[in-house]
Amino acid sequence: EGGVELTNPGQLTWCTSLPYEPFEFQQGDQVVGFEVDLVALIAERLNATPTVVVTAFEGIQSGTDLTVGTCDLAAAGMTITPTREENFDFSEPFFDATQALLVRADSGITTAEQLAGRNVGVQNGTTGADYAAANIPGANLVTFEDLGLLTTAIQTGQVDAVIQDNGPLLSFATQNPEFAVTTEFDTGEQYGMGVRTGNTALLDVVNEVLATSRTDGTYDAAYEKWFGT
Ligand code: GLN
């Protein structure tokens, strides 16, 4: 692909954080999911092989992984924020999300007010952690490094609630009906993919592929595959 320089020639090396079902998660020895399928389209367009690097979300969202060259592309259910935009460049938005509240289905907890005095799990470096810190002052926030540790914490009773994005929490509740998403906070977030600041050659391809996927049906097919009922 003319103009696009890849750190590992022939490979689209991309960073993500797991588990984040249905966007990216481990299935057998494969990393699969909605965003994985979108990255595969980008790699195909570059005549490259997608090579996933699984890393902590904190290093993705801070821009460190992109800056030091761990990967050329970051795709991790990552919300576009002004702070992050100072550290790397985002694609056009490709998915809408909000913060959501996961609790035991029989807990009766449906509002932020009811979380006062309770242990609430959040993930380090996420918009959910920021949202909870700003909007749920009475709660005892407990920080975890990834969504797997968060869901384990609510299963073991270490926390009474989890605040993270609606997509993965709804997916978890569907698979674990003793839990429910009882509120969405309507934070109006949009996911983007990240590239190193100034890597417009790659960013142009990412945006072109995302736009094309909307018009040629591949986005809808992937959506149906990973979110369809
Ligand atoms: N969308 C949230 C954020 O960008 C959470 C992302 C994640 O946990 N992978 O902070």
Dump pLDDT digits (tens) for 88-108.
999 999 999 999 999 999 999
pLDDT tens-place string over residues 16-54 = 999 999 999 999 999 999 999 999 999 999 999 999 999
Burial class (CB in 10 A: 0-12, 13-18, 19+), 178: exposed
C-alpha of residue 78 to centroid of ligand 1, in Å: 5
The backbone torsions φ and ψ at residue 2, rounded to the nearest 5 degrees and listed phi first, read -60, 130
Cis peptide before 93 (omega within 30 of 0): no
- Ligand 1, closest atom to CA 147? 8
Ligand 1: does its nearest atom lie under 6 Å from the Cβ of 59?
A: no
% residues pLDDT > 70 (the chain): 99
Ligand 1: does its nearest atom lie under 6 Å from the Cβ of 55?
A: no
Answer whether 11-95+189-227 and 99-184 agree in fold. Answer: yes
- Ligand 1, closest atom to CA 189? 1
C-alpha of residue 40 to centroid of ligand 1, in Å: 21
C-alpha of residue 77 to centroid of ligand 1, in Å: 5
pLDDT at residue 229 tops 90:
no
C-alpha of residue 216 to centroid of ligand 1, in Å: 28
Rounded Cα–Cα distance for residues 90 and 227 (Å): 24
Mean pLDDT, all residues of the chain: 97
pLDDT at residue 202 tops 70:
yes
Fold of 11-95+189-227: D-Maltodextrin-Binding Protein; domain 2 (3.40.190)
Q: What is the pLDDT of residue 3?
A: 86
Ligand 1: does its nearest atom lie under 6 Å from the Cβ of 63?
A: no
pLDDT tens-place string over residues 143-194 = 999 999 999 999 999 999 999 999 999 999 999 999 999 999 999 999 999 9
pLDDT tens-place string over residues 75-92 = 999 999 999 999 999 999
Residue extents of the structural domains in the chain: 11-95+189-227, 99-184
Q: What is the pLDDT of residue 213?
A: 98
Q: Which among 186, 179, 187, 174 is positioned nearest to 150, based on CA atoms?
A: 179
What is the interface pTM, i.e. ipTM, of the complex? Answer: 0.98
- Ligand 1, closest atom to CA 126? 10
pLDDT at residue 1 tops 60:
no
Q: Which CATH architecture has domain 99-184?
A: 3-Layer(aba) Sandwich (3.40)
Q: What is the mean pLDDT of residues 125-150?
A: 97
